[in-house]
Amino acid sequence: MAKKTKQEKGAASKTWTTLPYHRTWLLAQASALFDFFERELIDPAGGFHVLDDAGRAVVAPKPPREIYITTRMVHCFAIARLLGRPGAERFIDQGMRYLWEHHRDTKNGGYFWGVDDDGPTDPLKQAYGHAFVLLAGASAKLVDHPDADRLLADAGEVIRTRFWEAEPGASAEEFTADWQPIDTYRGQNSNMHLTEAMMAAFEATGDRSWLDMAEGVASLIIGRKARENNWRVAEHFNLAWELEPEYSNGDIFRPYGTTPGHSLEWTRLCLQLWELGGRRLDWLPEAAVALFDCAVAEGWDSEKGGFFYTLDWSQKPRMRNKLWWPAAEGIGAASFLNAIDGAPKYEDWYRRIWDFVADQLIDRENGGWRTEPAGAASPLFPARTDLYHALQACLIPLLPTSGSITRGLTTVGLS
């Protein structure tokens, strides 16, 4: 990626992320998110409650605890601990205990997707869920949690021995509770989050093999498959990693078509991977620029703002929902590109996306972020289950691009 000119450096001094007020505002938003979730998140029976739009625990009926929520909360409250937020340890302890005592399958190994007070509600072993177990373990290790090493070791062994497929350099998708293959489906979403988690595991342990595996996944899904698809990130593949363009199983995590939010997420991950690997792989920043340009050109609603959830194969909106998480990932992507590249368009996009979030998603009455703009027809998420995306959007712009949020807070902190 080209060095900044003197003119570009001068412009960079006027970016929002250099302004003390904006930096203070970002931290205040992060604090408000913690305030919203902390009130009723802890379930005395174990694990974490799902919260409604007012931040109240959903208890009648009580939804099962899904592993991606448990693990993301551990990760987020590890970030809170690194920020110096009092009381964060209680939430880390709650999640770590529940992962080990309830989500973990003591008979067959691995971690159940869904559990409740009586046992598994969804016993499948999903790569997506295991990616976040690895991330939770890595984040817990950076705050010296006493159970972090055993969780990292256990999750790492399961990923390496059960999910990892050396020939394509990527992960299988899912298995039954006793590790029988379910089908030949291969998905980019789970592998994208494994890339994130593998980088975190490398940061936490120094084990270079995690970084090598992350680079392999990125090479397959972005360097080959997205490049072949004009820098649109395809979601669904078969056993041979051939695109399955008509795949759709009705699962919100496996939608038809392409998902601009994932292109934005990969934009940041590619740049982080490039930095973490010593800027060796020049194709990564080139891919990041192409992914971002394609996502904002095709996925952004130029009339009302926000990113469409999915596009069809003619690049027309298919699911028109404006979810919170693509906006959050767009902020992280624009922030990384602005810091590394410095082209004025990235500052423009950073401000544009934050304006949409401030106007449409920050809930000033109840706290936190809405999952979609108020009054959205047929919202996809009935409750507030996620702290992870919004929190990271608030903190990524405050930290160096040389690693994850936890690495940044551990090594340099905030200034």
User: pLDDT digits over 58-85, tens only?
Assistant: 998 999 999 999 999 999 999 999 999 9
pLDDT averaged over every residue in the chain: 95
The bridge status of strand 310-311 relative to strand 174-175 is unpaired
Which residue segments constitute the domains of the chain, with CATH numbers given? 6-411 (1.50.10.10)
Whether the pLDDT of residue 9 is over 50: the answer is: no
Whether the pLDDT of residue 216 is over 80: the answer is: yes
Whole-model pTM? 0.95
Task: Please check whether residue 90 is in contact with residue 75, taking contact to mean a CB–CB distance below 8 angstroms.
Answer: no
**Mean of pLDDT values over 324-347:** 98
DSSP readout, 264-302?
HHHHHHHHHHHHHTTS--THHHHHHHHHHHHHHHHHB-T
Task: Please check whether residue 122 is in contact with residue 113, taking contact to mean a CB–CB distance below 8 angstroms.
Answer: yes
Identify the CA nearest to 334 among candidates 361, 342, 21.
342
Identify the CA nearest to 78 among candidates 333, 415, 369, 408.
408
- Predicted local confidence at residue 13, as pLDDT: 56
- Predicted local confidence at residue 6, as pLDDT: 43
Whether the pLDDT of residue 10 is over 80: the answer is: no
- Predicted local confidence at residue 385, as pLDDT: 85
Whether the pLDDT of residue 7 is over 70: the answer is: no
Identify the CA nearest to 272 among candidates 87, 400, 85.
400
Pair of tokens at residue 385: 């289950």
| Degrees to nearest 5, angle at CA 198 with 30 and 31 | 5
| Degrees to nearest 5, angle at CA 276 with 341 and 230 | 55
Instruction: Mark 233-243 as b/e (b = at least 16 C-beta within 10 Å).
Output: bbbbbeeebee
Task: Please check whether residue 112 is in contact with residue 124, taking contact to mean a CB–CB distance below 8 angstroms.
Answer: yes
**Mean of pLDDT values over 173-190:** 98
Residues 16-47: tens digit of each pLDDT = 999 999 999 999 999 999 999 999 999 999 99
Whether the pLDDT of residue 246 is over 50: the answer is: yes
Identify the CA nearest to 50 among candidates 34, 66, 35, 72.
66
Task: Please check whether residue 397 is in contact with residue 17, taking contact to mean a CB–CB distance below 8 angstroms.
Answer: yes
Whether the pLDDT of residue 1 is over 70: the answer is: no
Whether the pLDDT of residue 289 is over 90: the answer is: yes
Q: How many whole angstroms separate alpha carbon 16 and alpha carbon 340?
A: 15
Residues that are catalytic: 262, 389
